[in-house]
Structure 1
Amino acid sequence: MGELANCPNCDTLFVQTQFRTVCDKCYKEEEKKYETVYAFLRKRDNRKALLDEVVEGTGVSKDLILKFIRTGRIQLSSFPNLGYPCEKCGTLIRSDRLCGNCSNDIKKQLNQVEQEAQISERNKQQISPKASTFYSQSTKK
């Protein structure tokens, strides 16, 4: 079930669902803009257009076109020069959220943190046998 939210475009109160993040009026406007973008891209001459060229040719904002791409409404496989920016460095990519370099960098950092955790665990285990030894004294002499 949806929840009440304010439309990010016009601040109107509406029921937000998983699929709709704007009110009905703004959704209809987005649909019109989508049709404009898709009609532009369907033309043979425009299939190899870059993102900035699509923005100039249609008058639709870059953010809205990126939203269409991220939600899968515009399939990048049909348009070889379209892409969207990596969320970390801004390089144009065609899949996932991060480019290969940023993804590898994050993996290296995670591996380093994991190795540091393993080293600290080993150090604790080497110290702990001495600390966990229990000695008791007999009261009988």
Structure 2
Amino acid sequence: MNNTTGEIRVCPRCGKMFCYMGIDKAICNKCKEEDEAEFNKVKEYVYNNSDATIMQVSKDTGVRVNRIKTYLREGRLMIPESSPIFLNCELCGTSIRYGRYCRECAESLSSEMKKELHIDEYQIGEKPKNGLPKLRFSDQ
């Protein structure tokens, strides 16, 4: 693949073929638009209902829990300090507020391994200090 032509892929969400240019998520443009609309719906809901649980957000917005968890893993939403429910680091299992890995695990990986696992800074979550089940959105 070069910079002027994309790679033909099948969208994992809808099953349609699309030209992936190597930028952003590997889903078709229609699914990207739907994803962005769902994220904005969740973001607005969380902004107006800061004490909502993931289940409440899902029920009231119609956005699936797994999709909301994806936004947390991507670092687009954050679980506040006061929540008793958190995500788990994919390597050691410790509680984190967002992302895929805790800082300690991310720092212990070599830069080559981080590159191979596609670990970006936004996927490195903070450990919670303590707390009530609420969500926040990040400014990323």
| TM-score bucket (shorter structure) | 0.5 to 0.7
**Alignment partners' CA distance in 1, 2:94 and 2:62:** 23
User: Where does residue 42 of structure 1 map in the other structure?
Assistant: 47
Which amino acid counterpart does residue 97 of structure 1 have in structure 2?
A: R
* Aligned alpha-carbon RMSD (Å): 3.2
Structure with the higher strand share, 1 or 2: 2
Identity of aligned residues (%): 32
TM-score, normalising length: structure 1: 0.55
Aligned partners of 1:6 and 1:14 also within 8 Å: yes
Deviation at 1:76, TM superposition (A): 3.9
Distance between the aligned counterparts of 2:55 and 2:92, measured in 1? 18
Give the equivalent residue in structure 2 for 1:122.
none
Gaps of 5+ in 1: 104-141
**Cα distance, 1:96–1:67 mapped onto 2, change above 3 Å:** closer
Match of 2:77, SS? coil
Separation of aligned partners in 2, 1:70 and 1:50: 16
Work out the CA distance in 2 between the residues paired with 1:56 and 1:34.
14
Q: Does 2:54 correspond to 1:51?
A: yes
Q: Is residue 47–residue 80 contact of structure 1 (8 Å, CA) maintained in 2?
A: no
Are 1:7 and 2:14 an aligned pair? no
SS of 1:14's partner is strand
Aligned-partner Cα distance in 2 for 1:90–1:54: 25
Taking structure 2 as the reference length, what is the TM-score of the superposition? Answer: 0.55
In structure 2, the partner of 1:123 is: none
> Computing the radius of gyration over CA atoms, which structure comes out larger, 1 or 2?
1
**C-alpha distance in 1, partners of 2:67/2:75?**
12
- The gaps in structure 2 that reach 5 residues or longer are 106-140
Distance 1:96 1:11, change over 3 A: closer
- By relative contact order (CA 8 Å, sep 6+), the higher-ranking structure is 2
Match of 2:34 in 1: 29
From 74, 77, 80, the counterpart of 2:77 = 74
- The verdict on how the C-alpha distance between 1:58 and 1:80 changes in structure 2, with shifts beyond 3 A counting, is farther
